[in-house]
Structure 1
């Protein structure tokens, strides 16, 4: 069974979890990279990220095309921006149609609203089987080792 981890990470939290999954399952990885960088500190981070989500912007991605059809299991990871997934996923979901896959969802945040984010991701991923979802609160800053173990346990129980 071939697996893929797709993620966007602004500050490294989501990347941490993506790499744990990648290493544990020997998965391929697609890190969404935008042409224009988002600010990753201070008030501008929230302003630009929130604006991008609210206006459903589709930032240009630098990634090369990847054939989704060769994967059975896909893990999707995102920070939560204004209660939903990060704007680069607007572009990704517009360019790729994912169907008939097993999907694991993981989100990182500093203030919650994971249920709304998971619901929005599930709407975009209709026609797939959601096999699990997990959330993290700033996993690089809050008990990193505990979050690594949490991820390993989650993967084993899928």
Structure 2
């Protein structure tokens, strides 16, 4: 368990690595801990069928069971939550997180990674986080393949601005 003096956490789910890249960059930039969400049963497909299975999970409002967390999000004051965009919203493991953890009173930032269509990702996340203080949100379009250097620089700049705004 992490001690209370470590107040920054980046929580993310990543299937293909885009969200993981941005999460790691942000955590490193501000000295935050990382919490990767790992479903007990992950989508295995790397072909086009992953879109079918992922999208159908979203539409059926699935909340996959997650592996136990390595840290307790309640020990943190400043939390960044990152998700890939599936069917124009956040991925099912993030749905599980938002239903299991009460982020009331926490300072939160949101980011997404997508292939060009963010949809209602942030609107839907904010509905679940209505009792949190959401400072900002940002989206990244395929950071692993579309100008990775620029995506990394944007992530670093955004997270520094978030820390500056929140003073946490």
- Tell me the TM-score normalized by structure 1: 0.94
Once the two structures are superposed, residues 52-90 of structure 1 have per-residue CA deviations (whole angstroms, 9 ceiling, x without a partner) of 100010111113364222211000000000011000112
SS for the counterpart of 1:79 is strand
Map residues 122-133 of structure 1 onto 2, 5 A cutoff: 122-133=126-137
Paired positions, count? 157
Partner of 2:153: 149
Secondary structure of the residue aligned to 2:124 is helix
Unaligned runs of 5+ in 2: 1-5, 163-168
Alpha-carbon distance, 1:137 to partner: 0.6
* CA distance in 2 between partners of 1:140 and 1:65 (Å): 26
Aligned to 1:137: 141
Unpaired runs of 5+ residues, structure 1, are: none
Query: Alpha carbons of 1:142 and 1:40: their partners in 2 closer, same or farther (altered >3 Å)?
Result: farther
Look up the SS of the partner of 1:42 in the other structure: coil
Tell me the TM-score normalised to structure 2 length. Answer: 0.88
CA contact (8 A) 2:10 2:35 kept: yes
Match of 1:44 in 2: 49
Give the alignment's Cα RMSD to 1 decimal: 1.4
Deviation (angstroms), 1:40: 4.6
